[in-house]
């Protein structure tokens, strides 16, 4: 049975990190003392759920977490610093601090070191997250102990919901665009002006016109999706933004 350690202090360890080509020792005190820190720990760098969901969403919500009193968002895995550094680059997760727990000392101190021998991983961390204030664990979300790699409660949305259930999350925005399209430039400009992040899919490069037509029913670009709904082109986006600002 994995122990919930709310009310206890985090383990005192030294993380062996590599920064700008130099070895740098980072102690638990350096990370947690006098700060409010969100930690999420996972089985391994470059693994599917960790790379496709756990890290990306924490990176997306890091600004909102910080708006709600969090000083730092930390990802810990039983991997060495070279692996963690490369994973951070691959993920483009520059809002998160990646800490290598190469010897598993922090994870063992948390009581979260488990056997993943069946996958050839050896000792790894169970997936969990926690809110730590000045080195003391206020809240832990530990994934249920069942086969596989459950991912149900340690996610960024659950953590944000605990910290502030009414926190305003960023919209999920995606655009189909084409190079040289002035209407696409206008749509992106409107989003940039409002600080709204978006994903861009270039027609003719990443997808075909047929794919755009299948998704939107139209050949024209841009086609803007917000929170899973098709808004339309640049004019419709302007209307959507105006309505949102007037509300």
Active site residues: 50
Nearest by Cα to 106 from 8, 2, 12: 12
CA gap 61, 54 in Å, rounded? 11
CA gap 223, 198 in Å, rounded? 12
Q: In the structure encoding, which two tokens stand for residue 161, read together?
A: 């919901």
Q: How many CA atoms lie within 13 Å of 74's alpha carbon, on the beta-carbon side?
A: 23
CB 62 within 8 A of CB 56: no
CA separation, residue 21 to residues 13, 61, 81, 117, 189 (Å): 22, 29, 11, 32, 38
């Amino acid at each position: 049975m994995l122990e919930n350690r709310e009310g206890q202090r985090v383990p005192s360890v030294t993380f062996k990190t590599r920064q700008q080509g130099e070895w740098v020792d980072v102690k638990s005190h350096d990370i947690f003392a006098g700060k409010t820190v969100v930690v999420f720990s996972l089985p391994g760098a470059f693994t599917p759920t960790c790379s496709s969901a756990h890290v990306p969403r924490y990176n997306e919500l890091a600004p909102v977490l910080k708006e709600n009193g969090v000083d730092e968002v930390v990802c810990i895995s039983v991997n060495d610093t070279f692996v963690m550094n490369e994973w951070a680059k691959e993920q483009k997760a520059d809002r998160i601090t990646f800490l290598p727990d190469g010897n598993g000392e922090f994870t063992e101190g948390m009581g979260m070191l488990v056997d993943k021998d069946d996958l050839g991983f050896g000792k790894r961390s169970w997936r969990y997250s926690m809110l730590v204030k000045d080195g003391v664990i206020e809240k832990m979300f530990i994934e249920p102990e069942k086969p596989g790699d459950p991912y149900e409660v340690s996610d960024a949305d659950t953590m944000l919901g605990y910290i502030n259930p009414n926190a305003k999350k960023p919209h999920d925005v995606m655009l189909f665009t084409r190079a040289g399209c002035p209407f696409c430039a206008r749509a992106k400009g409107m989003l940039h002006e409002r600080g709204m992040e978006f994903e861009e899919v270039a027609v003719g490069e990443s997808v075909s016109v047929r794919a755009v037509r299948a998704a939107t029913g139209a050949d024209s670009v841009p086609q803007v999706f917000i929170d899973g709904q098709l808004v339309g082109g640049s004019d419709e986006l302007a209307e959507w933004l105006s309505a949102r600002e007037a509300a």
